[in-house]
Amino acid sequence: MSDGDAGRAVEFVGPERVEVVPTEAPVPGPDEVVVDATVSAVSAGSELLAYRGELDPETVADEELPALDGDLSYPLRYGYAVVGSVTAVGDAIDPAWRGRTVFAFNPHETRFAVAPDALRPVPDGIDPETATLFANAETAVTLTLDAAPRIGERVAVFGEGVVGLLTTALLARSGAETVVAVEPKDRRRSLASEFGADAVVDPSRYGG
């Protein structure tokens, strides 16, 4: 994709209606870079809510992420886990940024301009698909720090989706004596064991 090319973006236009719309070619400001997206992860939680029309349209999208300004009314561009390469830099930006692989909290679109301080360089050896999990890993780290397990404590993680599995992996490396994963799906329980859970529990076996 050349620097003059326009791009495309995913747009939620109404309940159960999603379109791919054209976007103008981004031009970096003096303090910005342009990122060409390589891969963009879909959130099975919040994005399904947007798709179904179950988000409060008057809710602020995310006050801490400039790329998600405005509210959650339609039409809505959403998403927060994009990995791509820096293809252009503004006049005030170090040219060394060009060519870097970076992570961005940004909606699904092929190209976008952004300030470098909103990006996270992807370390060597981590592929773009794995790097899209940075946002989930950040949440897992926060949960683990908030739980603050003490040496010898027993900890349970309810739900072994992406964030649950990452949290389980981190807790398994903490001072907790036992980490128990509670999850009804066989595959996820198996993954929880691989990620370090000392025991797994199928809650459906104990239903009334």
Residues shown for the chain: 208
Structure tokens of 31?
């303090």
In this prediction, what percent of the chain has a pLDDT beyond 70? 90
In this prediction, what percent of the chain has a pLDDT beyond 90? 71
Would you say residue 43 has pLDDT above 60?
yes
| 121 assigned to some structural domain | yes
DSSP H helix total and E strand total for the chain? 5, 10
pLDDT band at 3 (very low <50, low <70, confident <90, very high): very low
Residue with tokens 């989930």: 136
Instruction: Give bridge partners of residue 130 from the DSSP assignment.
Output: none
Amino acid in position 93: I
Cβ count near 76 (within 10 Å): 22
pTM of the model: 0.79
Please tell me the predicted confidence (pLDDT) of residue 39. Answer: 96
Whether the bond into 75 is cis, omega within 30 of 0: yes
Please tell me the predicted confidence (pLDDT) of residue 40. Answer: 94
Provide the domain count of the chain: 2
Contact at 8 Å (CB) between 154 and 177? yes
Domain boundary among 125, 149, 176: 125
Contact at 8 Å (CB) between 182 and 201? yes
Would you say residue 8 has pLDDT above 90?
yes
Contact at 8 Å (CB) between 183 and 204? no
CATH number at residue 160: 3.40.50.720
Whether residues 13 and 79 fall in one domain: yes
122, 139, 143: which is closest to 131 by C-alpha? 122
Whether residues 169 and 114 fall in one domain: no
Whether residues 91 and 171 fall in one domain: no
Largest interatomic CA distance in the chain: 65
Q: What is the pLDDT of residues 51-73, one digit of tens each?
A: 898 877 766 555 555 656 667 78
Whether residues 31 and 89 fall in one domain: yes
* Structure letter (DSSP) for residue 61: S
Mean pLDDT, residues 174-203:
95
Which range (11-20, 73-82, 155-164, 178-187) has the least confidence? Answer: 73-82
Which domain range does residue 197 map to? 134-206
Residue 52 buriedness (CB in 10 A; 0-12 / 13-18 / 19+): exposed
